Each structure stands twice: as structure tokens, then as C-alpha cells.
Amino acid sequence: MKKVEKNSNKITLLLGIWMISIILMGISISAIAQSSSYMMRADRSTTIFNLEEYNEDAWKDTIGTETDPEELFGGEGDQEGAQSKITIRSISESEWSTYDMFTNLFDVLDSMSNEQLQLFIMQANFTEEEINEQYPDEYEVWSVLLAKWDFTTEEIEEDSDEPDEYIPVFKDPENILEILGDYNEWIAKANPVIMMMGLDPFPVMSGEELMWQLLLEGTPIPSPFEDYLKDITEELDCDCMEVEENTLIVERTGEENYTIEIEFNDRGLQGIIEVKDENDKTIYRITSSDTVTLPFVILTIGIIITVATVSLIVWKKKKKKEMDLKQLKAADLQELKSKA
């Protein structure tokens, strides 16, 4: 009986350790730690966006015809009922070099063909080694890998429109201003080569333009959300942007003044996007459905199974003790009867 009890204790201990390990894994998934005061709460997940409202006449009267919903939001962004999707495939802590920033954050090579790229590399000496030698700083970021689907009124296809898009989320908002300065300095040297090749020059980018680009790409933000939004918009000198709790309000001008309000959810992902006229009337509205987070589904199932298994073992162990005690009492009673 002691041997059975000892084995049961070992099993219970092992299952308890397994449950604690699963809980710790969930904590590490839900909040990737960092040395600064910010914490990334986003995780591997898929979010469906729904185009709930689009007033075409109000859009033209307020924003104009030069900027349309398809340009801002992609695909059939002008059709009510259309859906789009963003999947966060991975988030990892890493260090990005200046070359990484130029090629991923600013996409300096995307507009070139292979032949043009080879010529540019030779003429402008655009190599990873050369760029990182000129600009040796490295930046601590969360490296976010996204897959993105444009808005469509059809069923969302399995293959994404943009399957591998890397986005850096800066742990220190001050760093984004530094890399923006390096980029603008570098293009002043590179643009003469670009124009000699018959290509359009790289655009000089302001802080507001860079922030707007990050917003359109669906970049998640770390918590505390309000503090991070305030810090990064202040660093980039975004006078046209205002922060109210977890909502970023972007003031823009078309035919008339209007605002774009982006509300972030409790994981730092874009949840609601609204375009409003100067009278605060909604012209365009996107909402998001529940985010599907596979690691937490697995975590929850694992915890339920573990708790149920441990409870069953404890219950069986208790029943076993009760039965052993009854058998012992019965044996003692039988022994007393035989002696009598």
C-alpha cells in the first residue's frame, strides 16, 4: 500500500510541475519581457477586420477624390461588408542594424527590378557591410512578422496578399527619430545615383509620414499604450496627432478638415478605425472581430486537462485510502472474532 501511495505522490508532483510550466509558458507568450518600461502584449494571432460603414458622398465632400479608401486600406476598401485579415506569424526580441531598417522599415529596394538593384548596388555601394559601417548603431526592437490580406467582398483566400512583412516595434521610442535622421541623410547621397538610373528619387520622410506609414501597416504597440503612443508621436514631432487613452486621433485635411481615429485593443492591436468629418460625424468605420490566439487556446486546454487529471488522481487516491481502511478494519474485526 505504501508503494502505491508513493507512486501516486510522484505522479501528482510531476503533473503539478507540468501545470506550472504551462502557466509560465503562457505568461511568456502573453508578455514578451523587455529591459525598458514597455511590454509587448500582442502575440501570434489572426484578426478579421470588417468594413461596417462607408459614406461615399461624404468621403468625396470631406476628403476629396485624390485619396480613396482603396488607397488607404487596400483591396475593396470602398465596399461595405468587405473583410480583410492580418495574421501575426511571430514576434521576437532582436536587434536590427541600419541596413535592416533601410530595407524593411523604409523599403528602399522594393521599387527596383533585379537588374536595377544590381546596378544600384554597384553605383551607390549599397551593401549591408557598407551601410552598417557608415551607420553602425543597432536598435532593440520587437521584430513582428505579418501576413496581410486586402479587403474583399469574397471569401478570404488561404494565401495572403503580403505573406512576409517584417515590422520593427522600437523598445525605445527615441531610436525611431535617430534612424529617420540616418535615412534622410543617406538618401541625400543615394538620390543622385537613383536619378542617373532614370528612377524616381527616394522621398524625404517626415516623422508624421513615418508614423502614418506604421499605422497603415497595422503595427502593434506595447503597453502602457497611452504612454507609448505619446512618446513616439512626440519623438517624431507629430503635431497632427493626439492621444486619448488607447486611441490615436490623426488630424488631416482634404476638401475639409477630418480626423482618423484608431483605437487599440487590450493587446495593442488596432481594433476600431473611424474616419470623421469636422462635425464628428462618421464617414468610414472599420471594426475587428475577436482575435484568435492559438497559444492561449492550447494553454487553456492544457490547464483544464492538467487540473482534471490531478483532481482525478487525488480523488482515486482518497477512495483507495478509504477502501484500504475499510479492508483493514474488516480484517481486524475478523481477527477479533476468530480469537473470540
pLDDT, tens only, 7-59: 555 555 555 555 555 544 444 444 444 445 899 998 898 999 999 999 999 99
Worst-scoring range by mean pLDDT, 118-132, 150-164, 167-181, 259-273? 118-132
Of 142-156, 243-257, 288-302, the one with minimum mean pLDDT is 288-302
| Amino acid 31: pLDDT | 42
2 pLDDT tier (thresholds 50, 70, 90): very low
* Per-residue pLDDT, 118: 81
Side-chain-side CA neighbours of 58 within 13 Å: the count stands at 16
Return the biggest CA–CA distance within the chain.
Answer: 117
Q: What is the pTM of this model?
A: 0.73
Find how far residue 260's CA is from the centre of its chain. 20
Task: Convert the pLDDT of each residue in 51-84 to its tens digit.
Answer: 999 999 999 999 998 889 998 888 999 999 999 9
Residue 98 has pLDDT above 80, yes or no: yes
DSSP readout, 35-86? Answer: SSS-BB---SEEEEEEEEEE-HHHHHHHT-SSS-HHHHH-BSTTSTT-EEEE
| 236 pLDDT more than 70 | yes
Domain-wise residue ranges, the chain: 2-25+298-339, 44-292
